[in-house]
Structure 1
């Protein structure tokens, strides 16, 4: 079988090489855009201390990429004139050069044909090659199949992995456009280059979310007036499956958000409620176009007769539209072993939802109702397999910019209270902040680690007579006693940092995104379980 695959690879040498070169070019293009977007002015953010911390993080990743490509850099130093001219590792005069640009649209150079090297047929017989074959004429293809392809693939995997780490950092960085003096004009080419690089880096979505946060004007969103017919029980999950105008081919997901109408409600209350709904719709519309683990947003449907706003979403691409998604809470409570996440998948889900929440916080938004039933999974369209590596966040309960007006309304739902910070249980004593979202994240991370819902955890705890313990105390004790056995010490530390209010006085720090990345996101990386370095 091994010899067969090698032979096939030899025959397909040019398509295989072109495909890998295309993937490699994409990763290099990402790195180029990173430099264009952030390093033109020698700084990422304006605060010097924070800038040093971001640069140190990014430098460590870039340095590992350089080491991975070291074999290729030696070849380039020997054969590539431009590399010898521009590389600071070869030409010391280029050491302090801030920016070196190459046109990545040009074709990669074709290596000079090497003098044929004699290879005995005996050495290749194990591959099933006939002795009469003229081996030397196909030597480049054999070299590709036997050695070069495998090495190129290994390098590409490392490059993709390191770039993914950079992509995790980017949403947390408060990106800024080129600094300029008041009244100074920006050349259109420069502006276009910046916009193109922002698009390549996936930063346009975050820029739009920041714009929504800073804008006080009324938000325009898509509205829907179609007939939505429920196809699933609204009580069975966070999202309801609906057909549009009774069409079997147009199926959407619906989320109902009810609001209170009392005799004391005046026109200002109604206006503010409508504005909050439009603002959330605008957020979800922008987030759904990016890589923020949110659903594609179709539109907002007003139903005043039911005192509710109806948020309509499309299914993600290549997912099964015949059934509503499963929530993380449903999966944990299920006795079906096929729905039980493996250890690597638990780490991945934990990291994905934490990164998504951190990205929203960096853009100035809070979720406000984060819990395990707010994380959903879809099935693949053809195989119907559960797509456990792609969780989505739902149930954004009238999320709003942190600094905007917040009405301290509340409900006393016992289930929701398990995920609420003590300051937000019962009648709230404080406006909602990122700290309260992080507390809820800690509860969900604990549920993922122990594979048990918070409600079951609390039910199983025996509190001695005459003693009272808060939910927060119980969850912290369970984290300390049980979690490390399942997920390791680093993961446990990350959960405790979310549950114990240690960020209460740091939440508004300019470098809090970096703090959260170092103290939570890095520690719930699966590599932390093996005590390896994580970035």
Structure 2
């Protein structure tokens, strides 16, 4: 364990130092100020993430979860990501070792760290005055200094020599370096930036899942979520995107709703709609009785029975607090605004603002674009389908890591919005339909309906009068059905209909017979459409094949390995085993 912990520390420190060197290469393009500033800002953002992870790692002694075997498994995955990133920076490491004093002094590969003294504080923050940038001096007609990536006799990153001779002439030198920046250095910096972004994106997913079972990241008074969480620096928690997840777990551990969020008194005007998610006009009413100007909002509805107890309303407020806290997390929830009554005292609306850079119009569900009978049906390319599938799986995995079950996942609960150019934005699927969502620590409700559409996504044990409390495996079953729909590009109803005809079954279909229909299609047709890795991910969800139970602390790792990691278009021609190892 000590060797693995030291390896992770060494890799993250090395990557951070190389990121600093790469930022300085971006700073070197002084004559290309706009391009330079954009690159520099993006690179520094990735650099901040790496630094924050390194500091959190040291502050917590390399412990992401108190379970030793599980902690080692998480560290192995994180170490692999960092090592691949370090290897991708190989050309920059060679340059830095030759020309960068800071790198030579602090690199753990040049100066191996003492296993008993691991510190990240010896790494300075990024230079604010750019005093350590690499420079190339060129005399110009207006006597201005021109700063570039290279210094005298420095080899370019592609290995070719740069002509720094004064004999090349002032105009020739500037033109040569301009072309070198345009055709070589800029392209290489863009490529390494994307590599960093891909790596930090993977790290962010792993971190939020890994710390789910670690109580040291929670504050001492778990009921006070206004305090800064955990023993680590709040800045690091924020920079790593962990704070929303920690707050959500704290909310889940509370026994009652807080008074800082209440049911708003306002007026909601809704046009007739069959959609569970629709656009309306909302007029808010303040405590002084003053009303706001009407604004467009997105509304979801939840109606309680007339004789429902007060605890049901408390559950709604609890859910509202969680939705409000979800902002900035990877749950892909809509920007929560408030909860208000709608028409009757027992009917409630959860109101959301529109996502940034989208049109204020009613969203379109995943079911709408898959359904062959819907006028909004669209055919999407494989990269888009893989991206949507993995985005949904990541969202649900993060939801579970925060100790919440969704309980109503289906293709109708995945929403897309129109971008400002009028086209549907398939890059950001949003998770909706939270009306039955609850914390895993809360008592389950045993009420049910016999809605035939919802039954298509319900685990067999949760249909008819349920005999088993709802758990994460039931959510993962629903995820498997949604992934099957995406892979076959057909609705669950269509898949059931084909299976009924093929098997000469009667309607309504027995829940276990429906499970067999889904599994047959996953085994026989899905591999041809989406590859073996995708098919294996769907089967894992439908079979609950994760090697552990719903309450096991290792479930997050298993879901990440057996589902999320396999839903990648690059795995299209890989076996499930190869894709899992690669992830």
Q: Which TM-score band applies after superposition, normalised by the shorter structure?
A: 0.7 to 0.9
Q: 1:174 to 1:110 in 2, by over 3 A?
A: closer
Structure 1 residue 477 corresponds to structure 2 residue 520: yes
Q: Which residue of 2 aligns with 1:242?
A: 280
Contact between 2:29 and 2:36, CA under 8 Å: does it hold in 1? no
The equivalent position to 1:493 in structure 2, one of 530, 533, 536, is 536
Shift of 1:222: 4.3
Q: Which residue of 2 aligns with 1:103?
A: 124
The equivalent position to 2:545 in structure 1, one of 484, 502, 507, is 502
Q: Which residue of 1 aligns with 2:25?
A: none
Q: Which residue of 1 aligns with 2:46?
A: 27
Q: Which residue of 1 aligns with 2:406?
A: 367
Structure 1 residue 458 corresponds to structure 2 residue 496: yes
Contact between 2:301 and 2:435, CA under 8 Å: does it hold in 1? no
Q: 1:93 to 1:285 in 2, by over 3 A?
A: closer
Q: Which residue of 1 aligns with 2:33?
A: 14
- 1:139-173 Cα deviation digits (max 9, x unpaired): 44333223211111111111111111112212212
Q: Unaligned regions of 5+ residues in structure 2, if any?
A: 1-27, 137-150, 155-167, 222-226, 285-291
The equivalent position to 1:164 in structure 2, one of 201, 225, 239, is 201
Instruction: Please give the secondary structure, in 2, of the residue aligned with 1:174.
Output: helix
Instruction: Please give the secondary structure, in 2, of the residue aligned with 1:301.
Output: strand
Q: Which residue of 2 aligns with 1:418?
A: 456
Shift of 1:465: 5.4
Distance 2:423 2:347 in 1: 34
Structure 1 residue 224 corresponds to structure 2 residue 269: no
Paired residues in the alignment total 499
Q: 1:179 to 1:524 in 2, by over 3 A?
A: closer
Q: Which residue of 1 aligns with 2:561?
A: 518
Q: Which residue of 1 aligns with 2:304?
A: 259
- 1:494-517 Cα deviation digits (max 9, x unpaired): 101111233485222221110111
Contact between 1:89 and 1:95, CA under 8 Å: does it hold in 2? no
Shift of 1:341: 1.9
**Which region of structure 1 is more displaced relative to structure 2, 85-94 or 28-37?**
85-94
Instruction: Please give the secondary structure, in 2, of the residue aligned with 1:196.
Output: helix
Distance 2:264 2:32 in 1: 52
Structure 1 residue 198 corresponds to structure 2 residue 237: yes
Structure 1 residue 279 corresponds to structure 2 residue 321: no
Q: Which residue of 2 aligns with 1:64?
A: 84
Contact between 2:228 and 2:234, CA under 8 Å: does it hold in 1? no
Distance 2:279 2:558 in 1: 39
Q: 1:20 to 1:401 in 2, by over 3 A?
A: same
**Which region of structure 1 is more displaced relative to structure 2, 302-311 or 359-368?**
302-311
Distance 1:149 1:523 in 2: 32
Shift of 1:249: 6.2
Shift of 1:395: 0.4
Contact between 1:341 and 1:388, CA under 8 Å: does it hold in 2? no
RMSD of aligned alpha carbons: 2.9
Q: 1:38 to 1:11 in 2, by over 3 A?
A: closer
Structure 1 residue 291 corresponds to structure 2 residue 336: no
Distance 1:496 1:200 in 2: 36
Distance 2:199 2:397 in 1: 20
Shift of 1:137: 4.5
Shift of 1:97: 4.6
Q: Unaligned regions of 5+ residues in structure 1, if any?
A: 1-8, 118-130
Distance 2:338 2:513 in 1: 41
Contact between 2:269 and 2:280, CA under 8 Å: does it hold in 1? yes
Distance 2:555 2:88 in 1: 31
Distance 1:361 1:179 in 2: 17
The equivalent position to 1:439 in structure 2, one of 448, 473, 477, is 477
Contact between 1:116 and 1:139, CA under 8 Å: does it hold in 2? no
Distance 2:183 2:102 in 1: 30
Q: Which residue of 2 aligns with 1:212?
A: 251
Distance 2:488 2:57 in 1: 40
**Which region of structure 1 is more displaced relative to structure 2, 80-89 or 465-474?**
465-474
Contact between 1:285 and 1:297, CA under 8 Å: does it hold in 2? yes
Structure 1 residue 307 corresponds to structure 2 residue 346: yes
The equivalent position to 2:96 in structure 1, one of 76, 89, 92, is 76
Contact between 1:209 and 1:287, CA under 8 Å: does it hold in 2? yes
Shift of 1:213: 0.8
Q: Which residue of 2 aligns with 1:43?
A: 63
Contact between 1:10 and 1:145, CA under 8 Å: does it hold in 2? no
Instruction: Please give the secondary structure, in 2, of the residue aligned with 1:307.
Output: strand
Shift of 1:87: 1.1
Q: Which has the higher contact order (CA 8 A, sep 6+)?
A: 1
Q: Which residue of 1 aligns with 2:147?
A: none
Distance 1:146 1:490 in 2: 38
Instruction: Please give the secondary structure, in 2, of the residue aligned with 1:256.
Output: strand
Q: 1:149 to 1:177 in 2, by over 3 A?
A: farther
- 1:278-299 Cα deviation digits (max 9, x unpaired): 1111111111343321001111
Q: Which residue of 1 aligns with 2:419?
A: 380
**Which region of structure 1 is more displaced relative to structure 2, 282-291 or 105-114?**
105-114
Contact between 1:377 and 1:387, CA under 8 Å: does it hold in 2? yes
Shift of 1:195: 0.6
**Which region of structure 1 is more displaced relative to structure 2, 76-85 or 462-471?**
462-471
